[in-house]
Amino acid sequence: MAQIHALLVISPEPLTTDDIIAELDISRGNVSMSLKSLMDWGIVEKAYMPGERKEYFQAEKDVWKMSVQVAEERRRRELIPVVKMLSDFEKLQLDEKNAKHKEFKKTTGELHNYAKIANTFLSKFSQSESGWFVKNVLKLFK
């Protein structure tokens, strides 16, 4: 999938499935599944060429927009469900005298706090402008 994405990013023109197969020497099924996933992630889209019946595909070329889209999809698909699950764990009524239960609550609580911070960070990243975000993050390293 990464090879297909990279090819579409560097390609000056939209490509067909056949173009991708020929360039990367991979199976039609792999190309088809990967293109579907890349479109689901919102970083590749179909491009319509006038007078052509074949489907063409193109990648988002703006690196900032691509980064924001990937970050938002990761947050939506992976981080938000983890935050919810850890929140549910905090609500569990466990025996605080049991060492394993106590350690479980402590560890999941710490993970929940970290996941909420990561969620907030990615949310701010996704909503920010490239220049503002980079400038402010770079200040942290000075």
What band does 128 get if pLDDT is binned at 50, 70 and 90?
confident
Does residue 134 or residue 2 have the better pLDDT? 2
Q: Could you give the CA distance from residue 66 to residue 43 in angstroms, rounded to a whole number? A: 6
User: Average pLDDT, stretch 131-139?
Assistant: 75
CB contact at 8 A, 75 and 119 = yes
Tens of pLDDT, residue by residue over 11-51, are 999 999 999 999 999 999 999 999 999 999 999 999 999 99
Residue 118 has pLDDT above 90, yes or no: yes
The pLDDT value recorded for residue 1 is 95
What band does 92 get if pLDDT is binned at 50, 70 and 90?
confident
What order do you get walking across the sheet with 44-47 strand by strand?
15-16, 56-59, 44-47
Long-range contacts of 47-55 (CB under 8 A, 24+ apart): 47/14, 49/14, 54/16, 54/17, 54/18, 55/16, 55/17
The pLDDT value recorded for residue 107 is 94
Look up the pTM and report it: 0.78
Counting every residue written for the chain, the total comes to 142
Residue type, 97: K
The pLDDT value recorded for residue 133 is 73
The pLDDT value recorded for residue 142 is 75
Q: How far is CA 10 from CA 15, 58, 90, in A?
A: 11, 10, 46
